[in-house]
Amino acid sequence: MKKLIYILLLLLPNFVSAQETKKLDSPMIYVSFDKIKHVILPAPVSDISYGREDFIKVERVESVPNIVRITAQEERFSGITNLVIVCIDGSVHSFRITYLPDGTPDECDNIIYDFEKVTQTYCFQVIVNNSNTTEIFLPSNVVYCRQGNEEVFGVEYYNNMIKVNTTFEKFAPSNLFAVDKLNNTYEITIVNDYALSYSYNFEDGRSYVAHIDANSIEMEKQINKLHLKKRNIFSLGIIKNKFEFSLANLYVKDDFMFFVFDIRNFSNIDYDIDFVKCFIRDQKKMKNAIQQEVQYDPVQEKDFTKRIFGKSSNRFVLAFNKFTIPDDKVFEIEMFEKGGGRHMRLSIQNEYILSAELLK
């Protein structure tokens, strides 16, 4: 028995050593100047380390923190460098990285999943040239997008659309990587060619969700829609001197807020509007307190009529860059009568602003 224990004690250090020196698998990743690589991990990344900074650059994607992008820094570098990624769940991921050999195909292999994936990856091809802009429509809004060769391609995206263009007459095939808000990933190969159409819809039936700019046709469309909506606010208004000024609706969409006002003239005297001004002001709590104010101008106005005829009504819409205010301040809209004394002031507290409905 003593002899058996002695033999086990002799073997134990070797067993412990074998356990301690277990190596991680390190799959090879091939990089190039024309394409960008992305590694998708099971959890947000907490640490990245790699051997040769002159060979590659590795960064965490801040908008999607469980994804790391890899770009080549030196064209056709020789040799192999390593990459180690640590995630917040404690998992460690090791890779070897080298430059893609000439003549080696590299299509739809630019997303590396280092775990059992649960989201979908889609592989597409689009045509780009210097005479046209290529438009790509995804099923859901884009949260991240990056092209393989930033010197050759310009890319911009908003909502569910990606635009790709180039000033180069000829270029090598490249790639585009995108992530939508559902965490689906898209590997898009970019090739140099000509086509009858340069618009690609990656899901039939999904229409483009238009981006709103202050002076765009889409802004006009949204405001026209508001002009016809039924009133849904009945508790905020003022009636004075046979004139009513009230907030009828309040909506938010993208980066803008839309205030819809109803005005009614109950008298026979026309109301000529001199000007309308908007302010963010302190709530006045004491009679002699100094009130601070900041003028806040709309970016767009619609159906604003300078004259409200007697016994008539009107609706107008003011669009602002989206905002909120502290609880000790109010948002005030003032309307002044030209050559008259019917000065109307409407105060809107933050609770109304925070209750703005989503404009669909």
- Per-residue model confidence (pLDDT) at position 301: 79
* 254-302: pLDDT as tens digits: 889 999 999 999 999 999 998 899 999 988 666 666 667 889 988 887 6
- Per-residue model confidence (pLDDT) at position 255: 83
User: What's this model's pTM, rounded to 2 decimal places?
Assistant: 0.55
CA distance 330 to 350: 7
Question: Residue 251 class from Cβ within 10 Å (0-12 exposed, 13-18 middle, 19+ buried)?
Answer: buried
CA distance 9 to 274: 98
Residues of the chain with pLDDT under 70: 1-23, 107-108, 117-120, 204-216, 284-291, 302-304
- Per-residue model confidence (pLDDT) at position 73: 94
CA distance 325 to 302: 24
- Per-residue model confidence (pLDDT) at position 25: 82
CA distance 193 to 25: 40
- Per-residue model confidence (pLDDT) at position 16: 47
Task: With beta carbons less than 8 A apart as the criterion, state whether 219 and 257 touch.
Answer: no
CA dihedral 332, 338, 342, 344 (to 10 degrees): -10
- Per-residue model confidence (pLDDT) at position 12: 52
Task: With beta carbons less than 8 A apart as the criterion, state whether 128 and 111 touch.
Answer: no
- Per-residue model confidence (pLDDT) at position 261: 95
Q: Which run of H or of E encompasses 226?
A: helix 217-227
Task: With beta carbons less than 8 A apart as the criterion, state whether 31 and 50 touch.
Answer: no
Amino acid residing at 321: N
